Amino acid sequence: MTRQYFGTDGIRGTVGEEPLTAEFALRLASAAARVLSPNGGTVAIGKDTRVSGYMFESALEAGFVAAGMDVLLLGPLPTPGIAYLTRSLGADLGVVISASHNPFQDNGIKFFDRQGRKLSDEIERAIEAKLTEPAITRPSELLGRARRIDNSRTQYQWFALSTVPPEMRLDGMKIAIDGSNGAGYKVAPRVLSELGADVVPIGCSPNGKNINLDCGSTHPELLQATVKGVGADVGIALDGDGDRLVMVDHNGALIDGDQLLYVLATVRNQQGTLSGPVVGTLMSNLGLEKSLTERGIKFLRADVGDRYVLEMLHEHDGILGGETSGHLLCLDKTTTGDGLVSALQVLTVLRETGKTLAELAAGMPRYPQTLVNVRVKTRPDLDAAPIRDAVRAVEDQLGDRGRVVLRASGTEPVIRVMVEGDDESEVGQVADRIADAVRSAA
C-alpha cells in the first residue's frame, strides 16, 4: 500500500489546505498515539519559527492528551535537537512541526521514534490507516498532561558542544552564521560563541513569516557576500529547521553537501576513524564518487532523501553519508541529520589540519551539473513517451560522459531534472530540453 500523506520527510503542504489543517493534525496525533504508544506514554513536540506552528502545536497537543499521552512542549528548536531530546527525556515519540526549507506559507509534521530516528514506511502506513477512524478521547482518569520544557535549547546546546573534542576552540576565527530565520536562529550562534568564535549572525531575526526568505542554505548569496564583506574565515548556512548545512569558504565560494562530505570522509579515513562505506544519493556529484574511490573509500548511492541514506548506512554499518543539499549524517555523533553538529565537525577539521575550507574542498573536482525544478499541478507519468524519449535521446548523446536523473520531489509539487556531464554548456542545454518535455506532459 502506498502512502497517501507521508512523503520522504513527513507530511507537508500549504497551511489551511488539506491535509495541513488543525483538524487533521488532531486526528494525526490520535492515530500516531494509537499506533506507537497505545497504552499511554510521553511525546515531545517541537517546531520551527513559522507563525502556523502555534496552531499545529495546540492541535497536536490536544490530540495526544485526549489519547492518553503526556506532552512535552519543546518550543522552537532545530529538528535534530528534537530528535536528541526525544531520546534524552525518555519520550516514546518525537514530533517536529516544520516544512524545513519551504516558505512560511507551508508547514509539515514529522515523527521520530524513541531512539530519535525517523519512522519506517510501514509504521507511517499504519498511522495513515488509523486516520480513517475518528480521534479518540480517553476517560478523564486516563487523559494525558502537558508541560513546557523551558531549558530545551540549553540541553541541545550542550549536546552539540559534546560532539567536538574537549580541547577544540575557535578563538581567533571569525564565522558568519545564517540561521535562515528558522529554528537554529538562537542556539547556533550561542554554540559558536561558546567555543570562542567571533560570530557574525545573519538570518537570526525570525518574525514568523521570514523563515527561509532570501537566506539560509537554499539562498546562500547573502552569506557569501557577508563572508567577503566582513573578512570571515568561513560561513555557515542552516535551513529553516536546522538539519541542512552548506558552507562558504573565505573567498565567498559556496561549499555544498557533497564537498563537505568529501572533507569529512577523507580526513576520517586518514585518521582511521571512518567505518563502513560513505553513502550519497542518486543526485550526488560524480566528482564525489570518483574522488572517494580514488582514495580507497567505498561509495554507495541511495534513493534521494536522508531517510534512505540513513537506512543504507545502517544496512552497511556506515557512519557518514549525506545529500548535495546539505543533509549530512554523522552517525558516530548523532542519530539524524544535524546542520549544527555537521558544521562543528568541519570546523574541527579546519582546526586540526590548519587548512582553510577552500584548500580542503579543492581535492574534489565537481562535474558540471544542472538541476531544473519543474513545478507541476499534477504529477505526470515520467515513463510516458514524450518524457521517456527526451531522456533517452539525452542519454544517447552523453554516453559515458554523463548521466540523467529524473524524479518527483517527495516534499513539493516539483519534478526534478538533473543532468551531469563533462561539458557545462551541453549539460544545461540538454537539461532544459528534458524540462520542456516534462512541462508539455504535465
Query: How confident is the model over 74-112, as pLDDT tens digits?
Result: 999 999 999 999 999 999 999 999 999 999 999 999 999
Q: Same domain for 233 and 292? A: no
Give residue for cell 491535509.
19
Give residue for cell 539525452.
394
Specify whether the CB–CB gap between 205 and 227 falls below 8 A. Answer: no
Whole-number Å distance between alpha carbons of 382 and 438: 8
Asked whether residue 364 is assigned to any structural domain, the reply reads no
User: Which of 340, 355, 383 is the last residue before a domain boundary?
Assistant: 340
**% of the chain at pLDDT higher than 90:** 88
Alpha helices, DSSP H only, in 367-418? 385-398
Give the CATH number, domain containing residue 277. Answer: 3.40.120.10
Whole-number Å distance between alpha carbons of 295 and 304: 25
Asked whether residue 195 is assigned to any structural domain, the reply reads yes
Region 392-411 average pLDDT: 87
Region 425-432 average pLDDT: 94
Whole-number Å distance between alpha carbons of 442 and 438: 6
User: Which of 150, 182, 210 is the last residue before a domain boundary?
Assistant: 150
Q: Same domain for 202 and 323? A: no
CB atoms within 10 A of CB 440: 11
Q: What is the DSSP letter of 423?
A: -
Residue 195 has what pLDDT?
Answer: 98
Whole-structure pTM value: 0.90
Query: Which candidate in 100, 152, 180, 217 is catalytic?
Result: 100
Whole-Å CA distances, 383 to 272, 394, 403: 45, 15, 17
Q: Same domain for 138 and 164? A: no
Query: How confident is the model over 406-420, as pLDDT tens digits?
Result: 988 866 789 999 999
Cell numbers linked to 395: 542519454
Q: Same domain for 417 and 290? A: no
pLDDT classification of 304: cutoffs 50, 70, 90: confident
* Statement: residue 1 has pLDDT above 60: no
Torsional class of 149: left (φ above 0), alpha (ψ -120 to 50), beta (otherwise): beta
Specify whether the CB–CB gap between 74 and 85 falls below 8 A. Answer: yes
Cell numbers linked to 9: 520527510
Whole-number Å distance between alpha carbons of 56 and 232: 39
Asked whether residue 26 is assigned to any structural domain, the reply reads yes
Q: For 234-237, which contacts have Cβ atoms below 8 Å and span 24 or more sequence positions?
A: 234/173, 234/175, 234/176, 234/347, 234/350, 234/357, 235/175, 235/176, 235/177, 235/178, 236/175, 236/176, 236/177, 236/178, 236/188, 236/192, 236/339, 236/343, 237/177, 237/178, 237/180, 237/203
Region 174-202 average pLDDT: 98
Q: Same domain for 328 and 279? A: yes
Spatial CA neighbour of 234 closest among 82, 330, 39, 226:
226
Least confident of 114-123, 159-168, 198-207: 114-123
Q: Same domain for 232 and 311? A: no
Domain housing 301 = 255-340
User: Which of 251, 274, 308 is the last residue before a domain boundary?
Assistant: 251
Q: Same domain for 129 and 33? A: yes
Q: Give the contacts of 151 (CB within 8 A, at least 6 positions apart).
A: none
- Asked if 325 is an active-site residue, the reply is no
Q: Same domain for 121 and 57? A: yes
Asked whether residue 5 is assigned to any structural domain, the reply reads no
The number of distinct structural domains making up the chain is 4
